[in-house]
Amino acid sequence: MKKIIKTTFLTPTTNTIIQFIRYAFVGGIAAIVNIGTLYILTDMFNIYYLLSNIFGFAAGLTINYILSTKFIFNSEKRIKKDVEFSLYATIGVVGLVLDTVLLWILTDLGKIYYLLSKIASTVIVFIWNFGARKMMYSILGKKK
């Protein structure tokens, strides 16, 4: 059991399935921060939900970056951190736009409660983010 946990969560790997499992775990933590921030800012501080979403997304992105570079895509040590973060943030901004548009469509047009809309948009953006980041590390890792 220890070996399975170590292989699944701690040993550096380029195995896409293991990275996806790790990304789901890290993404879950980031989603809790993201959705929690959205809820607190919207319901407790009466900030417009789309603005709260931007702050929540930024908090989740930060957590996701820190944990992802440590536990998921940590096998690529050759990548400069400023380049890595810039590309990571660019992918995150595309994810933020996608997330915010989906949130608005589901909430304002679909008349779905904003937290349920957020969960749906988070699932879609999760898939985008993993695929784009996996591709980013794959491309950057090929450079010598």
Q: Give the mean model confidence (pLDDT) for residues 44-64.
A: 95
Contacts of 126-129 with C-beta under 8 Å, sequence gap 24+, read 126/23, 126/24, 126/27, 126/31, 128/94, 128/95, 128/98, 129/27, 129/64, 129/91, 129/92, 129/95
pLDDT tens figures, 95-125: 999 999 999 999 999 999 999 999 999 999 9
| Residue 38, pLDDT score | 98
Domain borders along the chain are 16-142
Phi, psi of 47 (to 5 degrees): -90, 140
Asked if residue 78 has pLDDT above 90, the reply is no
What type of residue sits at position 28?
A: G
Does an H or E element contain 46, and which?
none
Spatial distance between the Cα atoms of 25 and 23, rounded to a whole number of angstroms: 5
Q: Exposure string (b/e) for 69-101, b if CB count within 10 Å is 16 or more? A: bebbbbebeebeeeebeebbeebbeebbeebbe
- Each residue's pLDDT tens digit, 25-34: 998 999 999 9
Average pLDDT, the chain: 87
- 106: tokens are 């589901």
CA dihedral over 110, 114, 116, 117, signed as positive or negative: positive
CA 26 and chain centroid, separation: 8
Amino acid at 43: D
